[in-house]
Structure formats: structure tokens, C-alpha cells
Amino acid sequence: KAGVTQTPRYLIKTRGQQVTLSCSPISGHRSVSWYQQTPGQGLQFLFEYFSETQRNKGNFPGRFSGRQFSNSRSEMNVSTLELGDSALYLCASSISTQEAFFGQGTRLTVV
């Protein structure tokens, strides 16, 4: 059974640019959540999608957005990148209140 797949693994972007990250959940998992991990703040919840609908959103500016497709794959977009957006972005998939499985993450560096 394939795990959660995130692409790309690494990205380097310039301030002001935008970026799109992709997450393919485990087959059958309809809930996809995104997290940002930084050394100072730890793991922070960005948002969750279920059946193409955003169910919850963390405390992040509107520059952070996402969507989910009918096959449960999800993308997150960050516009007008800032240096502080440099982080490891993690995606997780789950079924209801069961175990959450994470991908390997996308390391975003903003220069």
C-alpha cells in the first residue's frame, strides 16, 4: 500500500514568488491536512480538506491557500513568498479519527 506522497521534495524560491506543493494521500483516505514545521514554532496546522471542502483552517495569513481534487489529491499554494515561509511543509492523510499518516515533506527555502 503506497504511503502519502509529497512533491517536490525540495524547492528554492525568491521572495515575492508563489509556490504550489502537492500531496497524494493514501488510497481511500479522504481527509488531507497540511502542516508547517519550523525550528521556532514547531508543527503548526495549516488547513484540512475533506471531500474537496476545507473543513478547518489554522492561524495563517490568506497568502496560504489550498484545494483538494475529486481523487483526494491536494495542493497548497503560497503567494507572495516571504523569508519566514521557509519551512518543512508536511501533508497527512487519515480516515476519520484513525491514525494519521504523513508524507516525507517538502522543504521550501525562500531566498
Answer yes or no whether residue 60 interacts with other proteins by CB under 8 A: no
Establish if 24 lies at the interface with other proteins (CB under 8 A): no
Q: How far apart are the first and last CA of the chain?
A: 37
Segment interacting with other proteins, rule: CB under 8 A, options 14-22, 60-68, 75-83, 85-93: 85-93
User: Which of 19, 21, 26, 92 touches other proteins (CB under 8 A)?
Assistant: 92
Other C-beta atoms closer than 10 Å to the C-beta of 56 total 11
Give whole-number Cα distances, 29 to 13, 20, 51, 105, in Å: 31, 21, 10, 18
Binding residue for other proteins, selected from 7, 43, 51, 82, defined by CB under 8 A? 43
